[in-house]
Amino acid sequence: MRKVRYGGAISLDGYIAGPNGESDWIVTDPEIDFAAMLRQFDTLLVGRKTFAAMAAGGQGTVPGIETYVFSTTLRSEDCPGVTIVRERAGEFVRALRERPGKDIALFGGAGLFRTLLDAGQVDTVEVSLIPVLLGAGVSLMPPPYGAVRLRLTKQKVLATTGTLSLEYEIVRDKRDSAARRRSRSNG
Amino acid sequence: MRKVRYGGAISLDGYIAGPNGESDWIVTDPEIDFAAMLRQFDTLLVGRKTFAAMAAGGQGTVPGIETYVFSTTLRSEDCPGVTIVRERAGEFVRALRERPGKDIALFGGAGLFRTLLDAGQVDTVEVSLIPVLLGAGVSLMPPPYGAVRLRLTKQKVLATTGTLSLEYEIVRDKRDSAARRRSRSNG
């Protein structure tokens, strides 16, 4: 089955953006091959805020990639080239994964990550760990508190900048799955 | 000159403890040689809260290591075996570093790290990056927001647990030093 892969650049203290969405602390390492990275995906999931930031930067759509924006307020006619999803994200993504295709990228949007994680619909966390401390910002994973175990599957040092390219699988233990099933049948 | 080295275990989302000081998410890798680590230091700096947690765990003092606890409320007579420091931490540590000795460990105590960092008195950040997300907790570095650049100097994968052992130098640029000098002469 296609994987849902969450990722982006993070600081050593775990932020994906500054308190006002700042990204000027992100150093792009010349070794990162964004084109090769994009070829692994045909679908992109983003939250409303991340989409607004992408659109403001002139990158609201990515050629060859179908973009789904999770929002109950955006109107389809205002967002050409993307699909606005108003349904519950967990159920939507569960159905999407059952269709054939390449992997599904979940980019930015910590709130959407939390929702999909709690619904058991995220497979990996893949980060570029930038050598910087920020002190405040948008966290990689929003509350509530609770240990989500990961398994390190890949790590690479990008020598020019000291960025670490890290890939983790999300470990689903039996207790977690049972809790999710209960939460699904109740919800 | 002896170095001041800040460190400990962190989650991928940058927490050194859970919201109530929880540390049960920390997996100790068998490769970590705590005895060898301790031999690099003869001095330990801790904040009041970290000291309270150490004392509660029966580890208020470490043989062969002089412990300084920064607190304006603790009384020396209640804390045998350690030195209570009431002076300003930055000035105290600046003087301490000029004396001969091994390196100085700064353990836990994110608030003390912030104070000493702002005073230009921390040289390295050394973390064991545990493969876990927590969602909330005590941050590696407290606010305010502002990029503190690091230089990756060492990295090692601990294969049993997937913990990454990472060492960074704090990069002091000219602008930072100037700002610190101004802040010192004003303060």
Average pLDDT over residues B69-94: 92
Q: Which of B44, B54, B169 has its CA nearest to residue B96?
A: B44
Q: Contacts of residue B11 in chain A, CB cutoff 8 Å?
A: 14
Average pLDDT over residues B33-50: 91
Q: How far apart, in whole angstroms, are the C-alpha atoms of residue B46 and residue A97? A: 49
Asked if residues B45 and B104 have their Cβ atoms less than 8 Å apart, the reply is yes
Which pLDDT value is given to residue B178? Answer: 47
Length of chain B: 187
CA-based nearest residue in chain B for residue A24: B147
Which pLDDT value is given to residue B183? Answer: 53
Exposed (0-12), middle (13-18) or buried (19+): which is A136, by Cβ within 10 Å? middle
Q: What is the pLDDT of residues A128-183, one digit of tens each?
A: 999 999 999 999 999 999 999 999 999 999 999 999 999 999 998 755 554 555 55
Which pLDDT value is given to residue A183? Answer: 53
Q: How far is CA A157 from CA A5, A128, B17, B151, in A?
A: 20, 10, 26, 12
Tell me the three state secondary structure of residue B7: strand
**Distance of alpha carbon A118 from its chain centroid, rounded?**
14
Distance of residue A19 Cα from the nearest chain B Cα, in angstroms: 8
Average pLDDT over residues A15-37: 92
ipTM of the complex: 0.90
**Are residues B18 and A145, on separate chains, in Cβ contact within 8 Å?**
yes
Distance of residue B159 Cα from the nearest chain A Cα, in angstroms: 9
Average pLDDT over residues B157-171: 97
Q: How far is CA A114 from CA A69, A71, A89, A141, B135, in A?
A: 15, 15, 11, 6, 9
Which domains occur in chain A, in start order? 4-16+32-186 (3.40.430.10)
Considering the entire predicted model, what is its pTM? 0.90
Q: Which of A134, A151, A169 to mutate to test the interface with B (most CBs of B within 10 A)?
A: A134
Please indicate if any CB of chain A lies within 8 Å of the CB of B157.
Answer: yes
Q: What is the pLDDT of residues B114-153, one digit of tens each?
A: 999 999 999 999 999 999 999 999 999 999 999 999 999 9
Asked if residues B159 and A152 have their Cβ atoms less than 8 Å apart, the reply is no
Q: What is the pLDDT of residues A90-110, one digit of tens each?
A: 999 999 999 999 999 998 778
Kindly provide the b/e burial profile for residues B90-108, where b requires at least 16 CB atoms within 10 angstroms of the residue's own CB: bebbeebbeeeeebbbbbb
Q: How far apart, in whole angstroms, are the C-alpha atoms of residue B99 and residue B107? A: 20
**Which one of A22, A140, A162 has the shortest CB-CB distance to B133?**
A140
pLDDT bin (cut points 50, 70, 90) of residue A78 is: confident
Residue B50 in tokens: 């970290």
Tell me the three state secondary structure of residue A77: helix
Q: How far apart, in whole angstroms, are the C-alpha atoms of residue A31 and residue B146? A: 26
pLDDT bin (cut points 50, 70, 90) of residue A187 is: very low
Chain A 103-142, residues with CB within 8 Å of chain B CB atoms: 114, 125, 127, 131-137, 139-142
